[in-house]
Structure formats: structure tokens, C-alpha cells
Amino acid sequence: MALDRKIAYIDLTTGEIEIKPIPLQLRKKYLGGRGLDAYLLYNHTKKGCDPLGPGNALLVSGGILCATLASATARTHFMAKSPLTGLLGSTNMGGFFAPELAWAGFHHLVIKGKAEKPVYLWINNGKIEVRDAAALWGKTTTDTQWAIRKELNDEEIKSAVIGPAGENLVRFANVMTGIKNAGGRSGIGAVMGSKNLKAIAVRGTMDVKIAHPIEALEYNKKFIDQIVSSKVNQTQGILGTPFIWGATNSWGGIRTRNFQYNQCEYADDIEPERIDEIAEETMGPYHMVSCFACQVHCRAQYKIPSGPYAGKYDEGPEYTSQGAFGAEPDCKNAETVLVGNHLVDQYGMDNLETGSLISWAMELYELGIIGSKETDGLDLRFGNDEALIEMIHRICFRKSFIGDALADGGIPASKKIGKKSFDYLIQVKGMSNLHSDERATPSLALGIATGSRGSDHLRSRPAIDLYHLPEDVLRKIYGSPVPYDGPLSPDHTSYEGKAWMVFWQENCYMGVDCLGICKYHTLFLGATHPNFEDWPKVLYLNTGLEMTPKEIWEIAERSYNIERLFNLREGLKRDDLEKGDTLNHRYFDEPCLRGAPDVIGAKIDREKFEKMIDEYYVHHGWDENGVPTAETLKRLGIDEEPSHLL
Amino acid sequence: MSENEKKLSGAESLRKTRTYGKFRCHNPSCMGRMQPAAGQKTIKCPACNMEFRMAWVKPDFPRIRGPVWNVNREIAEKVRADKGAVPPTSKKEKK
């Protein structure tokens, strides 16, 4: 039974390992994955702990549906205090790791302490061993995984690893599995590096019993049909996530030259259709692959077609790499995007943070805030492809002033650079924004401002706000499972009802993160994708756990509030430009200059934005400072946290 | 996929709104529905005059690849002038 998967506590300082069952009481409150990790983080870290110290807790998990018969339940979740933001660190990656972990007997790991020398964990059918990783230290992410397979003589081993960036404590280092499945954004790779933990290797052949297997299979057919028949997923299955570029760069939603423009003009060479051509030319017609149990297969395989890296194999690039190594630095060559993507995959470094920070540095260079002294002679102007690639190396290995400064993240770098550099840094809570430009879409702006792990498009983004769906359709979606009869505007430029849309999406994304389902299988890019009403039965048939849509909503809300409590404990304040629910002044002061007619001139209205934040807090049951009220905590049953039940 | 087998969930019931062979204008304030002829390479929105380059996911599955850049720039320059928005320093950029 999925519910009998265990939790393991590993102390890398002492080598002690303890294995426990997960109480049903906590499953009913948090399900698993991100929700239960949030509970564990709040309970297993102390206020103000050093994110790169032994007191930080590294949590690894699969969702409650992981390794069952449910579709797209491949997601592995990691959580810790973030070395990038000093707040919640949380990341979620696809691939095959979490199902293998479940077959090895575990859904959750709590890793604390620090090993004396480099080690890796070997988890095999209920047993956990700490092994020497001296021979692995210094290797790239792919080489590390193959070296572990060779050492343990099993090519089916799945590993979550760090590369040189994690070892060098780059504060946005990733944990990686496979070639490009990345646990990115909040620097979990650096947390692993700080613990001298190079990898977690798993192999499992233990059955996961399904509560009602025949019915679960039958029911899953409906899910698959709903997913594969959608236009969004059919397109994604051919072009991968870069397919989004067609729409966003048409209307003017792509951050270009850091934040100077909102459209990357004449960038045909980095459009998804061109990237697809390269993938087909270098890998053949069947170059799309998938994560565990997924029918969308949105991951392209490619080889770099030309230049110094010609012939190197990688996967992706995701939509995020198009922006990070294309639009933001204004480098419009496919080869550059593919090389940049390859390097961050192999180094284990967040593509989005890397590209954003380099683009920020490029703007500072063109403004004269930094010069050749800071760049050690590098001509760091926009559109310089070679400088972009050079900066990726420098950040990973902390070379030169600018490479070392950026490796610590934007806010620490702005303090080292000084002058007015912070004003140009496009970040929320210390985390750089996606390459999307939200000035024309207040709902998206609210989402990045309030995301629990910092600026983020995967915590609450109501992407369908751009579809201009009729109000009755929006009410059907956003009026369930909790009734909502407030304002709800189909106009993407409106501020009406957007706070509710963001609140709803927050709970929806938290729901899939607790279940372990990929976001492309819920209401993110496709308005007809499964959500709350569709989940209870798949949960029941696979695990035997009976819940209503509203109960799953409450679990999501509870989990989100635990994350909020953690962030408040670590210093979040509403209007704090470094740790608050707000945006860089450029969102309010600089209008969009490109794109569709109604997008040109658009910027966020500060007064309306603040009102939206107020509404968002009210929906949550938080006070005007964004602090959950005593009533809210009691309603959600978290008024006595930390409760140390696990 | 709803709990009640006789009743469609919200996601299922919205499935009838899907349209194949058509797409919407990528001007978010327009969203006009367009249906190109097979193999068509560019398309102009009859409602807002934005013009797009097209790609075909499958022979019967069109999508917008991106704007026709010269037209896009002309429209943008006119709108910027009308709105008095600051012109971009596009001379510095690569095409």
C-alpha cells in the first residue's frame, strides 16, 4: 500500500539512521510530498538556522500517489531553508527518482547534520547506507550518476545528485536526476553541498500495493484521455515547454535585456519550431521522451549542432532556458541557448537564476555601474554570446569578482557591487523572476510577488487568465470546490477578482505537489485539465484514502499556511523589498514598450496592486501584514505547531 | 472523472469548449478566433490587424509561431506614438 511507505531520518554528522512509519493522522492532514515536507521543515529547523549549516534539514519526498497506477506521478520534492533567499527553499523535479524511492520503501527522507568528507546515500529495498563519495566529488551531474551505477553494478539505479555548482556552494545550485530533470530555484544543491552529500542513489523492487487496482486502471484511462486530447498537451508533446514562447513572445510577455523590453524581436532562431528542427536533425524523429508514467512526453533530446560544444548530448531546453540564455541577455542564437542549457544541466545550476543574474550584470555593465575591472576584462554587453557562456563557467567555479559575486545570488551581489545596482535587480524575496514580463497582467504580477519560495511561476500562476475565457467558464473553474461569488474578470488587464484566482491556483498547485502529480496534468496551461473534483477518486482507488475535493483543498491551504509560518519565522515582511510580498519598482514605473497594442504602455498600478495584496490576504485569513490570524490557524488545525509528531 | 459517475467534473464538462483546427489571435485584448487554410504560412487577424507567422503541429493542427516582425514593429511604433510611450533604443539591438 502506498500508505505504508516509510520516513527515514539520516544524521550525516553521526551516521545514525532511524526509520519510522508515517502516521495516518499526518497523511490525512498533509497527504505527502510538499505538504508533509512543509510540516517537517517547520518542525525540524530552528529559527534563524544557517541554510548552509548542519542545522538545516534537507527533506526529500514523493507525493502520496507516487509509484501507484495514477498518471504523471513522477515528481520528487525537495525542501530546506534556502541559501538563496533565507526563506523557504522548495523544488520539484520530474524523472524517475521518486518512484524508485517508493519502490525502495520510502516516501520521505529527513537529512540533517554534515558529513566529515564527501558521501552519498545508497538506499536499496528498505536499507540505507552512507558511502564514501571521494571519487565522485568534482564530477558533473551526468558523470556522477553513471559512476554510481558502475560502482554498484546496476544500471537501473536512479540518483539525485549535485554537480560542481553544488560543491562550490553556488546559492542557486540544483539537485539533478537524469540528464536534465532539475530540482532548481532555491539552491537545494548548495544545501546538499554544504552537507558534503554528493548524491542519493536508490534502487527498489518492493511492491506498492494498490487499494483497488482494476478500478484504478480503468479510471486512469479517463485521466489519460482528458490529458492527451488537450491541444496544449498535444503541442507540448511535440515542442516541449518552449511551445509557450509562440504566444508569450507574440503579445509581449517576454522579459528582454533584463527588464528593458517585453518582447524579443526577430528571434526566430530560438523559437520552439527551430529548436525542434535541431532536435530532429541531431536525434531523429522520435526525440521526445517522458518522465515516469506520463503520456505527454514533453522532454526533447538533442545534440548541440555546431561550435565548440558540437555533438554534446542534452535534453530540453525548457521554456525557461529560452528566456535565460536567449531573451534576457538578448542572445538570439539557438546554439547559445542549447549550450547554456547543457552547461547548467551538467554543472547542476539553476538556468533561470543564472540567465537572469547574467542579464542583470549586462545591464549594469551597459549603464557603467560595473566595468571591466569588475568583469576582469569581459565585454559583458547584451547580445555577446561568448560572454554569456563564459559567465556560466565563472559563476559555477566562482571565478573573478563578478562570477563569485553572482554565485551568491542577486541581493548579496548587489550589496557587493553597490551604487544603484539593486534597483535593476528583477527579483522577489531574493529569487530572480522567470523571463516572463507581468506588467500587463496584474494576476501574474500578484502571483510572483506572493510566491512562497520567492518569485515564481509554478506556485500560483493563473496562466489561463490570458485566455479571456467567458466569465461563466471562469466561475465554473474558480467556484469549486469552495464557493466563490465575488468579482471575477475575464480581462487580463483587470485587477478584479485576481486575488481569488491566485489563491485558488496556489491551492491547486499545492494539491498536485502533495499528490505528486506534474503541473502539466492539472489546471495550469490547460483550462480543461483535471483538478480538485477529479482527484478524490484517483486517491481512493490507489491508496484507499477517502477524501472530498474540499478536504483536499483544505490540506493544500493548511500546507500553504505552514510554509507561510516558516517564512514569517525567518523574517518575511509584507513591504520588504528583500523578503516581502512586493515587486521591483520597475513594474510600477516603467511601461511596456513592445508587443500587442494594449500591452504597450502597460505597467502595474501600485495602489491597485496593494489593494490586490489586501484581498489576497483576506482570502487566506491573514491580517494586513500577511500573518495568519489565530482563527485561521485554528480552523486549519495548525494552531499548535510545531507539534513534533514526526 | 468526478466522484459521481453520472456527473461530469468541471474539467470534463469544459472539454466541449475545445476547438481543433482553429486558434485565437495572440493579442490578449482581441483573442479573435481564426481558422487558417491547410498549409497557410501567415495570417492576419481580421479584428485587430496583427499579423502572425504560423506553424503546423500536425497537418490539421495549426498554431501561431510568432508575429510578422515588420508588421508588429509598425503597429507598435504607431501605438507608442499615440500613447506617448518612450520609444525603445532599438538601434543598439541585433536583428
Mutation site for A-interface testing, chosen from B57, B71, B77 by largest number of A Cβ within 10 Å: B57
All 3 cell numbers of residue B27?
493579442
Considering only CB atoms, B66 lies closest to which of A268, A473, A598, namely: A268
- For A237-432, CATH gives 1.10.569.10
Summarised one tens digit per residue, pLDDT across range A224-257 is 999 999 999 999 999 999 999 999 999 999 999 9
Pairwise CB contact (< 8 Å): B1 & A226: yes
Task: Look at A493 and B87 and tell me if their CB atoms are within 8 Å.
Answer: no
Please indicate whether residue A568 or residue B93 has the higher confidence score (pLDDT).
Answer: A568
CB within 8 Å: B10 and A249: no
Closest Cα of chain B to A343: distance in Å? 24
Q: A270 to chain B nearest CA, in Å?
A: 11
Say how far apart CA B56 and CA B43 lie, in whole Å.
13
Contact assignment for B93 to A466 by CB distance below 8 Å:
no
Q: Min CA distance, A128 vs chain B (Å)?
A: 39
Q: CATH number of A2-203: 3.30.1330.60, 3.40.50.300, 3.60.9.10, 3.30.40.10?
A: 3.60.9.10
Taking the CA of residue B7 and the nearest CA in chain A, the distance in Å comes to 11
CB A11 within 8 A of CB A112: yes
Q: Which residues of chain A carry a pLDDT beneath 50?
A: none
pLDDT at res. A91: 98
Q: What's the pLDDT at A153?
A: 98
pLDDT at B93: 43
Q: Do the strands A6-11 and A106-112 form a parallel or antiparallel pair, or are they unpaired? A: parallel
User: Touching check for B44 and chain A: CB below 8 Å?
Assistant: no
The residue type found at A450 is: T
B3 confidence band (pLDDT: 50, 70, 90): low
Task: State residue B16's pLDDT score.
Answer: 82
Q: What residue of A is the nearest CA neighbor of B69?
A: A266
Predicted TM-score (pTM) of the model is 0.96
User: Is residue B94 predicted with pLDDT exceeding 80?
Assistant: no
The residue of chain A nearest to residue B62, with distances taken between CA atoms, is: A235
How close B95 gets to chain A, by Cα (Å)?
6
Q: How far is the first Cα of chain A from the last one, in angstroms, to the nearest whole number?
A: 20
Tell me the CA distances in angstroms from B50 to A250, A263, A586, B81, one per residue in order.
Answer: 10, 15, 27, 17
Residues in chain B closer than 8 A to A227 (CB atoms): none
The verdict on B12 touching A (C-beta cutoff 8 Å) is yes
B1: pLDDT confidence band, cut at 50, 70 and 90? low
B54 in reach of chain A (CB within 8 A): no
CA distance A629 to A499: 18
Pairing type for strands A197-203 and A119-124 reads parallel
Question: For position B90, what pLDDT does the model report?
Answer: 42
Residues 6+ apart with CB under 8 A from A253: A247, A262, A263, A436, A437, A438, A440, A441, A466, A595, A599
Nearest beta carbon to residue A480 from set B1, B10, B61:
B10
**For A258-280, what is each residue's pLDDT tens digit?**
999 999 999 999 999 999 999 99
Q: Out of B11, B13, B95, whose CB is closest to A530?
A: B11
Neighbours of A587 (CB within 10 A): 22
Whether residue B14 is predicted with pLDDT greater than 90 in this model: the reply is no
Question: Any residues with CB less than 8 A from the CB of A634 and at least 6 apart, and which?
Answer: none
Cα–Cα–Cα angle for A199, A205, A211, rounded to 5 degrees:
115
Q: Which architecture, in CATH terms, is A442-635?
A: Orthogonal Bundle (1.10)
In angstroms, rounded to a whole number, what is the distance separating the alpha carbons of residues A369 and A371? Answer: 7
Separation between Cα atoms, residue A552 and residue A554, nearest integer Å: 5
Query: Would the CB atoms of B64 and A332 count as touching at under 8 Å?
Result: no
ipTM (interface predicted TM): 0.90
Per-residue pLDDT, A1: 67
The answer to whether residue B45 neighbours chain A at the CB level (below 8 Å) is no
**Of A491, A483, A445, whose CA–CA distance to A604 is shortest?**
A445
Q: Give residue limits of the domains in chain B.
A: 18-83
Does position B6 have pLDDT exceeding 80, yes or no?
A: no
B32 in contact with A, Cβ within 8 Å: no
Torsional class of A241: left (φ above 0), alpha (ψ -120 to 50), beta (otherwise) = alpha
Residue type, B66: G
C-alpha to C-alpha distance for A354 and A199, rounded to whole angstroms:
22
Q: Is B76 close to A594, i.e. CB distance below 8 A?
A: yes
**What does the alpha-carbon distance between residue A505 and residue A523 come to, in Å, rounded to a whole number?**
8
Name A106's bridge partners.
A6
Q: Is A352 helix (H, G, I), strand (E, B) or coil?
A: helix
Taking an 8 Å cut-off on Cβ atoms, the answer to whether B2 and A219 are in contact is no
Domain ranges for chain A: 2-203, 237-432, 442-635
| Residues in contact with B93: Cβ distance below 8 Å, sequence separation at least 6, in sequence order | A257, A265, A330, A382, A383
Whether the per-residue pLDDT at B86 is higher than 90: the answer is no
Q: Is B62 on the interface with A (CB under 8 A)?
A: no
The confidence score (pLDDT) of residue B18 equals 83
Which residues in chain A have Cβ-Cβ distances shorter than 8 Å to B11? Answer: 226, 523, 528-531, 533-534
pLDDT digits (tens, 9 = 90+) for B28-57: 889 889 999 999 999 999 999 999 999 999
